[in-house]
Amino acid sequence: MSSTVDVLVAGGGGFIGGHLVGSLLEQGLSVRSVDVKPMDEWYQVHGDAENVQADLSRRENAYASTEGAREVYMLAADMGGMGFIENNKALCMLTVLTSTHMLEAARDAEVERYFYSSSACVYAADKQTNPDITALTEADAYPAMPEDGYGWEKLFTERMCRHFLEDFDLTTRVARYHNVYGPNGTWTGGREKAPAAVCRKIATAVITGEHHLDIWGDGEQTRSFMYIDDCVQGSQMILKGDSPIPVNLGSSELVSINQLYSIVEEIAGIKCERSYQLDAPQGVRGRNSDNTQIMETYGWEPSITLADGLAKTYAWVYDQVKRSLG
């Protein structure tokens, strides 16, 4: 590895990481991108970055990757959509090894700033039982009862970031991501999130002519979804900011899963018959981002509409589906 680098992106071979690396390179920064996956499985490989395949859950790899980095974006995690999270709780919690070793490595390498990508899954489950959800404020993470497995690991690592700041003077910043989506992401295989899964199902219906959709749950569960460009911009803003308090990074545009399907159907120009799988993983009944704190602290919030973001995502997913179907 090179001796010094402006930015390390841990998880740079992932969906968000790939877009973030591209943005940082466009700004003329030197970037080290590290991911556990073989490089031919990375979502984006940027030739101008220093690309490294390494398992950051191993302490020696975390230290080697962080050495000489001025800033760190810690996105690396074993995660996926609701189907993956509900069926792989132990795997999700084992990410604590990566989270712990990366914080130790950043402290010992004396990095200037450390960004941690947390999740809306840290929020207490009893505040998310109704589709007509009151938007979640940052204080709603406590008393703690987060998403089992994945959410507990995220909340624990948030606390580690806080205490590494207090005890070791490592400048940590934390954003709670709310359902990030967009092109160049997971769209099949079980780890994809709802927008990509919906785009895949409807693209398949268009291509095959079989206009029938299987929907997890009753479709009335609600979420907000943030387009990748807003996520990348917000993450960099929060890293540079003055506030150490975890902050929501998500759209406040609440929709039901049924509405999500309808938007993509309109983009695709079709209507499909729907079947509801009530025994499928659904997650909480409702979740939305309260953006009061990010507006007060930064004067900014994600603003790309769901319809605009889905149009770009559907076009990309359609091409992937068409290619896969030959």
Question: Could you say which of 43, 73, 114, 150 is catalytic?
Answer: 150
CA neighbours within 13 Å on the CB side: how many for 214? Answer: 5
Q: What is the DSSP letter of 134?
A: P
Q: What is the DSSP letter of 32?
A: E
Angle between helix axes 257-268 and 194-208 (nearest 10 degrees) is 40
Contact 283, 86 (CB under 8 A): yes
Classify residue 187 by burial, with Cβ atoms within 10 Å: 0-12, 13-18, 19+: buried
Q: In whole angstroms, give the CA distance from residue 13 to residue 37.
A: 7
Evaluate the CA torsion angle 41, 42, 46, 49 in order and state its sign: negative
| CA angle (70, 73, 78) in 5-degree steps | 145
Q: Is 150 a catalytic residue?
A: yes
Q: In whole angstroms, give the CA distance from residue 116 to residue 194.
A: 23
Q: In whole angstroms, give the CA distance from residue 121 to residue 139.
A: 13
| CA angle (12, 225, 219) in 5-degree steps | 125
Of 201, 218, 206, 194, the closest CA to residue 270 belongs to: 206
Beta strands in 195-313 (DSSP E): 212-216, 222-224, 226-227, 247-249, 254-256, 273-277
Q: Which residues are catalytic?
A: 150
